[in-house]
């Protein structure tokens, strides 16, 4: 019985070590008009919350208009587990378009995931987390 437990534990540890990079998932989302004033785009590492080089950018446009309210808003920190681009001082009902860029590396520095994604929102997208 003890031998089986040891083998099972060793097998689980080996599978976890092999699969851990595969669990890397970068989340991206945009939210608009949350609580009437929160407009944001976020790029984040889940579930590990590791710092990584990345970026979030957001474009805020009044619904029905083609011209954005202001220039793109970008996340200020190039290395973080969560890249946030947003503001809470745009008025009216908005569409938020998000631009997301990331690169994840393993402990040795080898790139295990990189990508670019666009998101958009006209509501709070509460189910995205």
Q: How far is CA 64 from the centre of its chain?
A: 27
Architecture of domain 23-128: Sandwich (2.60)
User: Are 4 and 94 a contacting pair, CB within 8 Å?
Assistant: no
Q: Give CA–CA dist 82/52, Å, rounded.
A: 9
pLDDT of residue 2: 54
How many whole angstroms separate alpha carbon 57 and alpha carbon 84? 8
Q: What is the model's pLDDT at position 3?
A: 52
Position 16 scores a pLDDT of 37
Query: If you write DSSP's letter for every residue of 80-100 in order, what string do you get?
Result: ESEEEEEES---S-EEEEEEE
pLDDT given at position 53: 96
The enclosing H or E element of 38 equals strand 38-46
**Spatial distance between the Cα atoms of 125 and 43, rounded to a whole number of angstroms:** 14
Over residues 48-59, the pLDDT tens digits come to 899 999 999 999
Domain spans in the chain, listed from the N-terminal domain onward = 23-128
- Distance of alpha carbon 27 from the chain centroid: 3
């Amino acid at each position: 019985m003890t031998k089986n437990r040891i083998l099972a534990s060793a097998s689980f540890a080996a599978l976890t070590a092999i699969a851990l990079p595969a669990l890397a998932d970068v989340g991206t989302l945009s939210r608009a008009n949350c609580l009437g004033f929160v407009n944001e785009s976020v790029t984040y590492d889940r579930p590990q919350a590791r710092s990584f080089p990345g970026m979030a950018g957001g474009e805020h446009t009044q619904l029905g208009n083609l011209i954005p309210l202001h220039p793109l808003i970008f996340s200020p920190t190039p290395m973080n587990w969560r890249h946030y681009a947003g503001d809470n001082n745009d008025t009216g009902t908005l569409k938020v378009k998000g631009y997301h860029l990331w690169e994840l590396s393993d402990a040795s520095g080898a790139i295990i995931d990189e990508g670019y994604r666009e998101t958009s929102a006209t509501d709070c997208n509460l189910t995205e987390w």
